[in-house]
Amino acid sequence: MASSLTKDSASTTGGKTFFGHPRGLATLFMTEMWERFSFYGMRALLPLYLVSSSGLDMNAATATAIYSIYMAMVYLLAMPGGWFGDRVWGPRKTVTISAGVIMLGHLTLALPGTGTFFAGLALVALGSGLLKANISTMVGHLYSGPDDPRRDGGFTVFYMGINLGAFAAPLIIGTVGEKVNWHLGFAIAALGMALGLAQFLIGTRHLDARSSVVPKPLSAQERRSTLRKGLLWLIVAVVFYGVLVATDVYTLNWALVPITIAGLVIPVAVLARIKRDKDLSATEQSKMSGYIWFFVAAAVFWMIYDQGGSTLSLFGKSSTTNSLFGVDFPTSWYQSVNPVFIMALAPVVAWIWLALNRRGKEPSTVVKFGSGLFLVGVSFLVFMMPLTLASDGDKVSPMWLVSIYFLQTVGELCLSPVGLSVTTKMAPAKYGSQMMGVWFLAVTAGDCTTSLLSLAGVDLNRTGLVGLEAALAIVAGFSIWMYRKKVTTLMGDVR
């Protein structure tokens, strides 16, 4: 790390920098890289462990439901995670605590047993949700403001850390988990988070002082009220599930179904609450109406995209040769394909948008969104082909999955960065700091839709259903394009 630090005479501090950026970026880069290493490593193993006879030996539908709920909860918990950073601990303390919770979660996963597995999964989801919003906030704190010319580049470097961790994790954690021992793989994920936490604590002195500040601390009365409400709901949950267990009525669905329904209801309730707010101006109301189009489109996108770690992964395990150029590889390695494509294609896509912009031909936000939906839909049209070829028990080439991940990655690059940007631009002033959490709720809604289908017994690896999902995304993308003028009008001055 020291070799990548260089002197920068233009630095406001006069000290060392990280690729021309504040030195604190190195601390946050490495923290996020190790956190993503642990997260994506465990994520790559999760559905495979659930269906394996040496794991929990579940059916594919239940495994997909659990995986989807887990992903949904990570993004749902980003909202209370941001709240804790703003109102209780401040970003720096919240990240420190959340990293410890994630590490503890992976260590719990490393212990055999169904009970410890679900406890570990809950801890990792909770810690990831707490960390997600706050570490990005601290990156922003490193710069003097939105107009700092280094700001966008700093976030680009930071996101490279995400993809480096995501790329390496399946290759290391996935290989150990699949080929040696599942629980040893989870333990390596814990080690990765421990390394991230250690270097965060060592490098924390390089962070901006604002990262330790609680921007809007709870008053004593608010704190008591929050604790009282939290304890009340905890007691209700303990009593309710305690009765179910005592009467021998409890099954896994008693936990999965309520969480899934909550993951669908909460995003709708949050959007409805903002939309009904009478404090919003007519312009803000119009922008929120336009934003709902993007939100629904994003939920459809993530519903399909996030099946890359469940439906596609399980297909890879059962129906592909998992061999390329004479080299056999574990199923979990498929999860390294997307980060590679992201790192390779992100600069290319950014250059294309810039080149088109110079010629006055850059597609609008609405068109980019529609393109992302269209591409993710096409990826599932492609998925229908290997599904058909493998229907009689034959195994297909892994290149089918690689091509699907390629299309989904290009779709992601069309939709995800634009979605983040349009969320900040269309946010009502009153909800400026909350709208990023609202954007993450689109992921929650999409993943909970997948979970609901799985819990209903729907086989997501069936050609007919895959075709239906593909058609849904393509029709949604086409609808966005058809109504682009209406949506653009609702957006007001946002482009």
Residues 106-132 pLDDT 10s: 999 999 999 999 999 999 999 998 998
Which pLDDT belongs to residue 234?
92
Question: Taking all residues of the chain, what is their mean pLDDT, rounded to a whole number?
Answer: 89
388-to-285, 377, 394, 400 alpha-carbon distances in Å: 47, 17, 10, 12
Q: How far is CA 322 from the centre of its chain?
A: 26
Residue 89 phi/psi, 5-degree rounding, is -105, -20
Q: Where does the pLDDT of residue 145 fall: very low under 50, low under 70, confident under 90, or very high at 90 and above?
A: low
Per-residue b or e along 224-236, where b marks 16 or more CB atoms closer than 10 Å to that residue's CB: eeeeeeeeeeeee
Q: How many CA atoms within 13 Å lie on the side-chain side of 130?
A: 23
Q: Is 328 strand, coil or helix?
A: strand
337: its two tokens: 């394909």
Which pLDDT belongs to residue 146?
63
- Cα–Cα nearest to 11, from 24, 28, 2, 27: 24
pLDDT at 460 exceeding the cut of 50: yes
pLDDT at 11 exceeding the cut of 70: no
Q: Is 324 strand, coil or helix?
A: strand
| Dist CA 405 CA 312 (whole Å) | 9
| Dist CA 60 CA 454 (whole Å) | 9
DSSP per-residue string spanning 379-424: HHHHHHHHHHHTTTS--B-THHHHHHHHHHHHHHHHHHHHHHHHHH
317: its two tokens: 């395990």
| The dihedral formed by the CA atoms of 35, 38, 39 and 42, expressed in degrees to the nearest 10 | -170
Mean pLDDT to the nearest integer, 318-341: 94
pLDDT at 32 exceeding the cut of 50: yes
Rounded to the nearest 10 degrees, the angle between the axes of helix 484-491 and helix 282-305 is 130
Of the listed ranges 13-22, 194-203, 342-351, the one predicted with least confidence: 13-22
- Helix segments in 213-281, DSSP class H: 220-246, 253-276
Burial of 109 (0-12, 13-18, 19+ CB in 10 A): buried
| The dihedral formed by the CA atoms of 141, 440, 333 and 169, expressed in degrees to the nearest 10 | 30
In sequence order, the 6+-apart residues with CB closer than 8 A to the CB of 378 are 407, 470, 474
457: its two tokens: 């017994």
DSSP per-residue string spanning 5-41: EEE-TT-SS-SEEETTEETHHHHHHHHHHHHHHHHHH
| Dist CA 347 CA 363 (whole Å) | 17
Question: What percent of the chain clears pLDDT 90, i.e. is strictly above it?
Answer: 62
pLDDT at 3 exceeding the cut of 60: no
- Cα–Cα nearest to 413, from 163, 168, 164: 163
Q: Where does the pLDDT of residue 147 fall: very low under 50, low under 70, confident under 90, or very high at 90 and above?
A: low
Q: Is 116 strand, coil or helix?
A: helix
pLDDT top residue among 495 and 119: 119
| Dist CA 405 CA 378 (whole Å) | 11
| Dist CA 306 CA 43 (whole Å) | 11
pLDDT at 412 exceeding the cut of 60: yes
Contact 12, 142 (CB under 8 A): no
